[in-house]
Structure 1
Amino acid sequence: MTTYLDFFELTQEPFSNAPVSRFYYNSAQHSQALTRLMHAVGYMKGLSILIGDIGAGKTTLARRMLDSLPESEYEAALLVIIHSGITAQWLLRRIALQLGVENPAQEKLALLSQLYQRLLQIYESGKKAVVLIDEAQMLETRELMEEFRGLLNLEVPERKLISFVFFGLPEIEKNLKLDPPLAQRVALRYKLEPFTAESTEAYVKHRLRLAGCPRMPFTPEALLAVHEHSGGTPRVINTLCDNALFEAFLARSETISAELVHRIGDNLGLQGGSAASQASERPSTPASSLPRTANTKIDLAEIDRYLEGLGKL
């Protein structure tokens, strides 16, 4: 059976909304964001945040960053927050597991001791502990914010023992204000803006080229229509272009016109420039990590002494 991939001589779907690393588009602002975030974790600055509207490419960038952290230099993990009802205990256990703590304790003080010991091991091995948190806007309680502040207080004289990067919607900043001392610890903030018309065109051409498309099916006017209806949001650009390729295939048309894109945009309920507010979130996926193993020892006296200083601002 002939498909639109066959019709346009494509080797794979060019506009899937799954985070396929092969299709990563290194736009100017994505490059700047990644450079700044890599600098922040390279110097163990503590807490960095990357914000963007729905469908702006935050998850894709988080995965790209994880792939860009050399295993020889970093003990790194990506944690996806799947719902807003998580507890501080769950959060600590997930962070501990992903950084290589075996059999994390149920009791909080013992768990903190295990995590502290593991972070010291990572530091003494010459590596840096980094945890990327995707969908961080779901961290909605002051208790969670205070837990991150406590973890950021874990340090040695030379530097912090762990760095975090939050990826999420603009609500992150409201959540950080639940614990003002943590908000003051944000070392770097970067916001992903929607693509311009020129970036939208370059993005579409980039994905088509990587999918093996031998010719450009979208007219210049059609590309402008894609930008108009998507508002420059990558996820919505993908949806529009995928639909356009399929509809053109059904019509056996090798050219995609602005008229077709406008019709698809209208059918999807996308009014020009409002796509970002109308797009729906992709379901969260389970956390991925770079697992590590370690023989941790619990030194309650040491962690007790250390925790006495965690209340500092």
Structure 2
Amino acid sequence: MYQSYWNLQSGPFEEKMEATFFYESHPHQAGLLKLQYLIENSKGAGLLVGGSGIGKSYLCHVLKSQLADVNQPFVHLVFPQLSPIELISYLAVELGAEEANIEPSAPGKDRIIRALHRQLLLLCEQGRKPVIVIDEAHLIVDQRIFETLHQLLNFQQTSEIDFTLLLVGDQLLLSHLQRSAQLDDRIAVRCLLKPFSIEDTRGYVEHRLEVAGRNEPIFEEDGFQTLFELTQGNPRKINRLCDLALLVGYADELPLISSDILGAVAEELVTSIPD
């Protein structure tokens, strides 16, 4: 709606998984390098932890876009609240096993495990090193899932099979892993994704605007300090606040977005409107 007013070619603050909008902040770039190291050096299992809206799933998407073909398939499970047999079945199919031969409701867990094992062997015979991402892993309530993931890693103990397992979630995931000491012990690389600094907050906003086609300032100088204070450097909060601020600026025909406008928009975002 406001794109033409601000001379933008696309929405700069939309919640899209487009790698071109990735801003190489220090915490996000450091996390990406760690994950690349995990995969490219066959370290086995890794952990990516961070608060809500900090960019964990987005970082996984950027990671996928930068990996070589040898690291395909890239399986990204975003709904991990499954039973152990459902998890094994899902992974087997996503890795390329014939879905018709896998029926999680039917008896024969050993048959599904063999199907998964055969598929991993086939991929590795083809020279591939697949990546399995379990996103929102802090939502797993069945502790048997963590035991199943530990057993899955046991496939790596043979030289024929090579894949990477990445667990992604918020801080609650750490306590889950403490109750699964064997799996926790197999985590080779750990990444803690932190919010932006004030410098990265400004860089993030300017980068997104530039990618969207705007090379001239939209926010007044003191607006970035206010933006950082209001969002605490959380990318999702920054996106929502900036998106609505640009809409208000368009509606009011403002030349720039001031600190006062950001404050008013932030208050509108958190204020309940009575019936």
Considering the TM-score relative to the shorter chain, is it more than 0.5?
yes
Q: How does 1:153-302 map to 2 (within 5 A)?
A: 153-158=154-159, 161-269=162-270
Which of 43, 46, 49 is residue 47 of structure 2 equivalent to?
49
CA positional deviation for 1:14 = 0.6
Out of 65, 68, 79, the residue aligned to residue 70 of structure 1 is 68
Structure 2 equivalent of residue 29 of structure 1: 27
Matched residue SS, 2:130: strand
CA contact (8 A) 2:133 2:167 kept: yes
Q: Name the aligned partner's letter for residue 189 of structure 1.
A: R
Give yes or no for contact 2:230–2:266 (8 Å, CA) kept in 1: yes
1:266-303: CA deviations, max 9, x gaps? Answer: 22229xxxxxxxxxxxxxxxxxxxxxxxxxxxxxxxxx
Offset from partner CA, 1:19-64 (integer Å, 9 cap, x none) = 2222111222212111111111222222101111010001110111
Q: Residue 159 of structure 1: CA displacement? A: 7.2
| Aligned-residue RMSD, C-alpha | 1.6
Per the alignment, residue 88 of structure 1 pairs with 84
**Alignment partners' CA distance in 2, 1:26 and 1:159:** 36
1:150-184 residue CA offsets vs partner (Å, 9 max, x unmatched)? 10001354475332011211111112123211111
Give the whole-Å Cα distance in 1 for the aligned partners of 2:188 and 2:177.
13
Q: Deviations over 1:92-120 (max 9, x none)?
A: 11111111111343321011111111111
1:115 equivalenced with 2:112 (yes/no): no
Shift of 1:5: 0.8
2:124 and 2:161 in contact (8 A); partners too: no
Q: Which runs of 5+ in 1 are unaligned?
A: 271-313
- Mapped partners of 2:14, 2:206: distance in 1: 14
Q: Which residue of 2 aligns with 1:105?
A: 102
Maintained 8 Å contact 2:27/2:195? no
Contact 2:44–2:156 (CA under 8 A) maintained in structure 1: no
In structure 1, how many angstroms separate the alpha carbons of the residues matched to 2:60 and 2:174?
Answer: 18
- Partners of 1:87 and 1:5 in 2: CA distance: 45
Q: Counterpart amino acid of 1:163?
A: T
CA contact (8 A) 1:66 1:76 kept: no
Counterparts in 2 of 1:33 and 1:222: CA distance versus 1, 3 Å = same
The count of aligned residue pairs is 266
The two structures have a TM-score, normalised by structure 2, of: 0.92
Taking a change above 3 Å as real, the CA distance of residues 83 and 43 of structure 1, as seen in their structure-2 partners, is: closer
TM-score, normalising length: structure 1: 0.81
Rate the CA distance shift 1:269–1:207 in 2: closer, same or farther, 3 A.
same
Q: 3-state SS of the aligned residue for 1:128?
A: coil
Cα distance in 2 between the residues matched to 1:156 and 1:186: 15
Structure 2, unaligned runs of 5 or more: none
How has the CA–CA distance of structure 1 residues 180 and 163 changed in structure 2, closer, same or farther, with 3 Å as cutoff? same
Deviations 1:64-101 (A, max 9, x none): 11122211x123323233363x2111111111111111
CA distance in 2, matches of 1:174, 1:168: 11
Tell me, in whole angstroms, the C-alpha distance in 2 between the residues paired with 1:247 and 1:255.
Answer: 11
Residue 309 of structure 1 aligns with which residue?
Answer: none
**Residues 120 and 161, structure 2, Cα contact 8 Å, conserved in 1:** no
Contact 1:244 1:261 in 2 (8 A): yes
CA distance in 1, matches of 2:145, 2:28: 28
Question: Percentage identity across aligned positions?
Answer: 27
